[in-house]
Amino acid sequence: MVQAVDRDFSKELLKTKEISTHTKKGKHATTHREIFVLDGYGMIIDNPGMREIGLADAKDGVSSVFSEIEQLGKYCKFVNCTHEHEPGCNVLSAVESGELSCEKYDGYIKLKKESDYYDMTSLEKRRKDKSFGRMVKTAMKQIKKSL
């Protein structure tokens, strides 16, 4: 069921429950899926029992929606350019010159990262998480030393 949601935030559209005093998290109140369209600005998806949803197998979709960026990327200095910080990146040059809007570029980077994450194997995700954990631990040690 899809419902349009107007800007009158005083209306109650979903049944809610109190926050658990034990877990400090919300309790399930709904039993069916529902999408709420927010005045053309986005959507809220109520999907009971699911903690998160993601872009599964979206690599082709990102490429087709952002075909302009994919074209620009063909002329980057490096074949494996991430279009984030590399010298000679044609996509970043297009953003700097105004040929490509910052909003479109930001959307591309966000969706590409999410798509790449869902394409990773479990082992790759564990390695990435472990690497991030080491980086945080090192940063915390440096902070403690500087105090």
Mean pLDDT of 7-25: 74
Alpha helices in 3-121 (DSSP H): 59-65, 67-73, 90-97, 102-119
Mean pLDDT of 39-46: 75
pLDDT in tens, 44-100: 777 777 666 665 556 677 777 888 999 999 999 999 999 999 999 999 999 999 999
Report the range of poorest mean pLDDT among 9-18, 66-75, 102-111.
Answer: 9-18
Choose between 4 and 55: higher pLDDT. 55
**Average of per-residue pLDDT values in the chain:** 82
How would DSSP label each residue in 103-123?
HHHHHHHHHHHHHHHHHS-HH
Measured between alpha carbons, how far is 9 from 6 in angstroms, rounded to an integer? 8
Question: pLDDT band at 17, cuts 50/70/90?
Answer: confident
CATH number of 59-121: 1.10.40.50
In DSSP terms, 34 is beta-bridged to: 46
Task: Give, to the nearest 10 degrees, the angle between helix 90-97 and helix 102-119.
Answer: 150
Do residues 30 and 44 touch, judged by C-beta distance below 8 A? Answer: no
Q: What is the pLDDT of residue 117?
A: 79
Measured between alpha carbons, how far is 101 from 85 in angstroms, rounded to an integer? 17
Mean pLDDT of 102-116: 89
**Rounded to 5 degrees, what angle do the CA atoms 97, 100, 104 make?**
140
Q: What is the pLDDT of residue 90?
A: 97
Q: Is the pTM of this model over 0.75?
A: no
The residue extents of the domains of the chain are 1-53, 59-121
